[in-house]
Amino acid sequence: MADEDLTPVFQIQRIYLKDLSLEQPNSPQILVEQAQPQVDINLGVGAEPVAEGVFEVTVTATVTTKVGDRALFLVEAKQAGIFEIRNIPDDQMQGLIGIVCPQMIYPYLRAIISDICTRAGFPPILLTEVNFQAMFEAQQQAASSEAGSGIITSLN
């Protein structure tokens, strides 16, 4: 019976849209302009413990489109998932939370961004595939560089 208590557990409890925002600050005037907009996309990943062995992982996308120096529209969406993760070795835990969970959440975020742009009257923004492992490794390397330089960082 004690062996059952140490069985590794990794399962999705729920995937949900945590936050969604659309702004068109210069409408309707900017909508008649014929210039090609500039699109800027930023992604972020976050994680927080919810309970013992339960984590909320979020992937946030911020899409800003401009014509010249004026905003055409701004979309920010935060897709979240609640994952039960128990009895996983510490050296694998960060990879699950920083790579595997975001990979599971990201397709939902891509669909929401595309859909909200279309519903707002614009062509869909199609977010490209993301290599969350490379993103995670870059964050780990940056964190270790900061630790080596004497800078103290907090992960709240």
Please state, in angstroms and rounded to a whole number, the distance separating the CA atoms of residues 78 and 18: 5
Question: Is 10 a residue whose pLDDT tops 80?
Answer: yes
Domains and CATH numbers, the chain: 7-146 (3.10.420.10)
- Interior angle at CA 109, CA 19 and CA 45, nearest 5: 75
Share of the chain above pLDDT 90, in %: 69
Please state, in angstroms and rounded to a whole number, the distance separating the CA atoms of residues 70 and 58: 29
Task: Give the H or E element holding residue 39.
Answer: strand 38-51
Contacts with 144 (C-beta within 8 Å, 6 or more apart), sequence order: none
Produce one character per residue of 126-142: b if its CB has 16 or more CB atoms within 10 Å, e if not: ebeebebeebbeeeeee
Instruction: Taking residues 38-65, report their average pLDDT.
Output: 96
Question: Is 105 a residue whose pLDDT tops 90?
Answer: yes
Average per-residue pLDDT in the chain?
89
Question: Is 1 a residue whose pLDDT tops 60?
Answer: no
Please check whether residue 116 is in contact with residue 90, taking contact to mean a CB–CB distance below 8 angstroms.
no
Question: Is 99 a residue whose pLDDT tops 60?
Answer: yes
Please check whether residue 147 is in contact with residue 131, taking contact to mean a CB–CB distance below 8 angstroms.
no
DSSP 32: G
pLDDT (0 to 100) of residue 29? 86
Instruction: Taking residues 21-33, report their average pLDDT.
Output: 89
Question: Is 53 a residue whose pLDDT tops 90?
Answer: yes
Instruction: Taking residues 137-146, report their average pLDDT.
Output: 83
- Give residue 147's pLDDT band: very low, low, confident or very high (50, 70, 90): low
Please check whether residue 108 is in contact with residue 79, taking contact to mean a CB–CB distance below 8 angstroms.
yes
Tell me whether strands 38-51 and 70-86 are parallel, antiparallel or unpaired.
Answer: unpaired
Question: Is 113 a residue whose pLDDT tops 70?
Answer: yes
